[in-house]
A and B are shown apart, each in its own frame.
Chain A
Amino acid sequence: MEVHIQLTKLRTKLFCSCNSDYRDAEPNTHLCPICIGLPGTLPVINNKAIEFATKIALGLNCQINEVMYFFRKNYFYPDLPKGFQISQYNKAGGKAFADGGKVTIRLNSNKKDILLDRIHLEEDPARLVHKGSIRTSPYTLVDYNRSGIALIEIVTEPVLSSPAEAREFLNQLKLIVQYTGISDLSLEGSLRVDANISIKGHPRAEVKNINSFKEVESALIYEIMRQKNEIKKGKEIIQETRHWDGRVTIPLRTKEFEKDYRYFPEQDLVPIIITKKNIDEIRESLPEMPYERVSRLQHQYMLSEFDAENLILDKDIADFYENGVNSDPTFGPNEFKLYCNWLMNDIVGWLNENNSKIIDTKLKPHYIVDLILNIKKGTITTKMAKTMINDMMKGKTISKILEDKDKKRISNEFILEKYCKEAIEENPNIIKDFEKNPKAFEALIGRVMAKTKGQADPKITRKILRNLLH
């Protein structure tokens, strides 16, 4: 698998100072002579891109190469304005940005290390727009805004053996990227996957253009089915590049052979040297990685491995959790677990239902502390607390919700008497029943409550009604 990740947290492109924030822009408005490849222009490397690439390489436990230079990868396609892509190459004397590395995944409680071959730093090609389908479009429209955006290419060893493993690998990778802070992978097109798929003993086909996490599994399942069917029909698999169009894969071009790309060192860029000291400094600045956090959460808050792994699935959620449980010094293992349950069940449930992220809500970490304490004090029951989640998400603490209820409460006897008299007049049947059925009295209180939208003070209402009916 080859995963391309845009370094969306960079403000400019990899080799020029055009603004990298192109997503809502009109086509071809984030361009300069460098990123549309006009003759005579010279690229200059964005130093932050080197820093970010170092961060992800460290996060993935890769071995960073200390001396490297860029290569030109030559091929003709409208998405490349220069006729070549500036990339890296680990042959012909060249070095990848970093070699090796791994991502540990868990599938059905089995752990597996997905080994990485290498990671590269390279420029993104342009976005192509087709009229209708890529197959029938009479022409291709090109938007070079994306051209030159910094990409990290992560290449795995051929070790993924099922679409489910591929999905888990991407989930873990996404997490590590989120923790390093180099990219916001929720942005459309910030992650693209090319998958080399083969049935044992047959040639492989490459599927390009898988543009989201969700689509990876379906694209792989489709392509595996297609290849199995071809083999069943007695046909041989052609080594080719195929395009995922969201439903099926279609042949794009017969795969070029590596020598066709005529890789050679990019003369417009001088070599890059990353010293051990540089690497150590960046290592120091890196936050704790998700796999490190799991074991710390388990020890620090006495959580189960299951709970800890769930919490770290979203860095914002894990940060929220730690801020919350640390905001009250009386919290102990019991509350740590309670907080985790409320957060992972009720709050995350609400977020999923409302398609929202925790940082976009008005919920504050100490609100859940307040909820747990109110239940402990007996002010509310667990059942009541669950009905208050929606208000909490909109920025109200349980204490505030209770206080508001109190404020709205009608306890003025004149007003309540008016409502009680109305209720008696409007419900002669209940009054008739009153003598023999004690439940009729409760029904009458219910009517007053309904009239006041639940705001009548129940104690005073009861007293007034009793007086009126005697």
Chain B
Amino acid sequence: MPEKEEISEDTLEYISKLALLDLKEEEKSKLVKQLSEILIYFNKLNDLDTENIKPMTHPIEGLQNVFRKDIPKKSLSNEEALKNAEHKKNGFFKAPKILKG
């Protein structure tokens, strides 16, 4: 099993951008190590021969077409919906600006 680092600094940089995370230097070195370990762990799956195995998309076999009827039910109040939000304004959730710079 390979023990080398599988995740480069560049890859970390890229995925942190996708995840909208600003990482500090010390976090970066820590994450490179941790993510590499996770990847190595999952690489174990590659040891198995899956040549003739049908891919499984859902763990519960045979269950299909679980539907509900198109009938409205009562929603939460605005207060309830915003209860756990740290940042809010005039009944809206408040998020950071989208475009940087």
Contact = CB atoms under 8 A, between A and B. Distances in A.
A12 B91 CA distance: 22
B52 interface: no
Interface in A17-61: 17-20, 26-33, 36, 44-50
B75 A270 contact: no
A440 B70 CA distance: 76
A421 interface: no
B58 A134 contact: no
B57 interface: yes
A141 interface: yes
A138 B97 contact: yes
A29 B18 CA distance: 30
B74 to A, nearest CB: 9
B18 to A, nearest CB: 6
B67 A44 contact: yes
Contacts of A18: 72-73, 75
A10 B69 CA distance: 10
Interface string A112-135: 000000000000000011000011
B97 to A, nearest CB: 6
A124 B26 CA distance: 38
A18 B72 CA distance: 6
A462 B50 CA distance: 106
B92 A28 contact: yes
Contact of B70 (A46, A76, A267): A46
Interface in B59-79: 59-60, 63-73, 75-78
Contact of A76 (B20, B67, B76): B20
Nearest to A267: B58
Interface of B: 18-20, 55, 57-60, 63-73, 75-78, 81-82, 89-99
24 contacts: A17-B73, A18-B75, A27-B78, A27-B92, A28-B81, A29-B75, A30-B75, A31-B75, A32-B75, A36-B81, A45-B66, A77-B98, A78-B96, A128-B98, A134-B98, A137-B97, A140-B96, A141-B93, A141-B94, A144-B81, A256-B18, A269-B66, A270-B58, A272-B64
Question: Which 3 pairs from chain A and chain B are nearest by CB?
Answer: A47-B67, A141-B92, A78-B95
